């Protein structure tokens, strides 16, 4: 029961956090009408994952049946997700600056591009782990003939992830605008860095990148993957207690420049009108 | 406008997923599986693989977790190169791993608790 609960929590947490930030963002810029993009992205991702998981479980399709194909699929989505989230974070930063300058027309223009980006990001955030989660779900359903514990444990885990994300949403949505953008943006950068490191590990396991057994550190004794805190670290930041040198290097190489660029002071519109116009 | 954006977004997403899937599935042919899945019984302290000698081709391992910890199942080529893995096998679940195995010597491994080098056993694949 507990093991399956933790799997549900871990698989659901990252997607739930990203989606809750997207929702909080749209609410903060007072564009609740664009929430349909998030709902749509999530729904399509869930539908595709569940349908495909069922196809793999109950039919003899050869699509994505092999380890390599699943790895390539997951790895590709991971890298696309990192690109999208990074782009979104900087787009949010620009939009925040536009709002400050009360350039509503320019904000509107940013939101047209933004709606598509928000929808696609919601889709990728869920689809990335969606297939793995759906395969797990269907194997739990199959086991339900003998015991319902796995299905209920897993479902409770997903539910807990959604509740955690909802509590975080309640908290962030009340922050003042500047803090809101800073915290959610920095949070998204850390999530994206974890996804990138995870993708690197996938490619190492597939043998496309070297250094699978060259570990930067191994603290699996201190942070067991099966523990609740190991689950939370894995679910939010994709932190793995056994991290390879390449993963660590890529993680730092992503986080440091991106956070520096993201947190650099925003020049105000009054002083730099030309800058705002070209950036927005 | 949101509805239209949404529809086209959905179409793009589905198309992208379909393209990715089609691209991935292309090379998974190989020799057909000779018989049903090979049962693997993984507990917290043991890893019983139903067959230790196999003909070359595509094989499916049906890994049942009889333990209390989350487990993983791996097939390693020499040098610990991962040929296939299935993660997140929760207690009392059975999950499948399908791998294409050319002739050679391999190792199977269960990793109860998802850490360490696993409980290993040799696996021989003949022509």
Question: 3-state DSSP: chain A helix, strand, coil percent, rounded to 5?
Answer: 80, 5, 20
On whether the CB atoms of residues A119 and B5 are closer than 8 A, the answer is: yes
Looking up tokens 């092999």, which residue turns up? A66
- The 10s digit of each residue's pLDDT in A93-145 is 776 666 655 545 555 555 666 778 788 888 988 988 888 889 889 888 888 77
Interface ipTM above 0.90: no
Task: Give me the pLDDT at residue A112, please.
Answer: 65
Chain A: residue nearest B117 by CA? A213
Residue from the list B6, B17, B114 with its beta carbon closest to the beta carbon of A36 = B6
Which stretches of B1-127 are DSSP H helices? Answer: 2-25
Measured from the Cβ of residue A25, the count of other Cβ atoms closer than 10 Å reads 25
A128/B contact by beta carbon, under 8 A:
no
The token duo for B106 is: 């391999």
Torsion angle of the four alpha carbons A222, A224, A228, A229, in this order, in degrees rounded to the nearest 10: 40
Question: Å from A135 to nearest chain B CA?
Answer: 8
On whether the CB atoms of residues B65 and B88 are closer than 8 A, the answer is: no
pLDDT over threshold 50, residue A148: yes
Residue from the list A66, A132, A140 with its beta carbon closest to the beta carbon of B98 = A66
On whether the CB atoms of residues A57 and A131 are closer than 8 A, the answer is: no
On whether the CB atoms of residues A89 and A264 are closer than 8 A, the answer is: no
The token duo for A127 is: 């689809």
Which of A52, A68, A116 is best to mutate for the B interface (most B CBs within 10 A)? Answer: A68
Task: Give me the pLDDT at residue B2, please.
Answer: 44
Minimal CA–CA distance to B71: which of B100, B99, B93, B39?
B93
Mean pLDDT, chain A, rounded, equals 83
The token duo for A139 is: 């194997």
The pTM (predicted TM-score) of the whole model is 0.77
- The 10s digit of each residue's pLDDT in A30-88 is 778 889 999 999 999 999 999 988 888 887 766 676 777 777 777 778 888 899 889 88
Least confident window among A229-233, B16-20, B102-106, B109-113 = B16-20
Residue from the list A3, A65, A242 with its beta carbon closest to the beta carbon of B69 = A3
- The 10s digit of each residue's pLDDT in B37-85 is 999 999 999 999 999 999 999 999 999 999 999 999 999 999 888 888 9
SS3 call for B15: helix
The token duo for A230 is: 């190991």
């Amino acid at each position: 029961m507990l093991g399956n609960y933790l799997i549900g929590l871990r698989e659901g947490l990252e997607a739930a956090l990203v989606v809750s930030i997207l929702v909080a963002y749209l609410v903060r810029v007072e564009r609740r009408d664009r929430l349909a993009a998030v709902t749509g992205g999530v729904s399509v991702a869930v539908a595709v994952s569940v349908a495909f998981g069922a196809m793999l479980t109950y039919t003899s399709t050869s699509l994505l049946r092999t380890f390599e194909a699943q790895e390539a699929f997951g790895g590709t989505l991971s890298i696309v997700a990192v690109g999208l989230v990074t782009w979104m974070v900087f787009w949010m930063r620009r939009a925040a600056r536009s709002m400050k300058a009360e350039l509503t027309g320019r904000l509107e223009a940013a939101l047209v591009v933004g709606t598509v980006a928000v929808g696609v990001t919601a889709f990728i955030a869920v689809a990335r782990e969606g297939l793995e989660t759906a395969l797990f779900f269907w194997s739990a359903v199959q086991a339900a003939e003998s015991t319902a514990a796995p299905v209920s444990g897993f479902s409770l885990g997903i539910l807990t992830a959604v509740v955690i994300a909802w509590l975080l949403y309640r908290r962030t949505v009340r922050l003042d605008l500047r803090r809101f953008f800073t915290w959610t943006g920095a949070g998204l950068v850390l999530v994206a860095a974890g996804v990138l490191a995870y993708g690197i590990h996938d490619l190492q396991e597939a043998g496309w990148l070297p250094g699978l057994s060259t570990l930067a550190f191994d603290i699996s004794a201190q942070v067991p993957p099966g523990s609740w805190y190991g689950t939370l670290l894995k679910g939010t930041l994709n932190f793995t207690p056994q991290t390879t040198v390449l993963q660590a290097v890529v993680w730092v190489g992503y986080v440091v420049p991106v956070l520096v660029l993201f947190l650099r002071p925003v020049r105000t519109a009054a002083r730099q009108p030309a800058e705002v116009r070209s950036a927005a | 406008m949101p509805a239209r954006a949404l529809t086209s977004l959905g179409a793009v997403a589905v198309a992208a997923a379909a393209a990715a899937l089609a691209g991935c599935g292309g090379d998974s042919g190989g020799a057909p599986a000779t018989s049903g899945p090979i049962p693997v019984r993984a507990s917290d302290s043991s890893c019983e693989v139903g067959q230790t000698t196999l003909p070359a081709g595509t094989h499916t391992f049906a890994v049942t977790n009889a333990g209390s910890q989350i487990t993983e199942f791996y097939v390693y080529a020499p040098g610990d190169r991962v040929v296939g893995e299935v993660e997140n096998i929760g207690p009392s679940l059975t999950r499948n791993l399908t791998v294409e195995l050319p002739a050679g010597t391999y190792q199977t491994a269960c990793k109860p608790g998802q850490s360490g080098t696993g409980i290993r056993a040799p696996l021989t694949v003949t022509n």
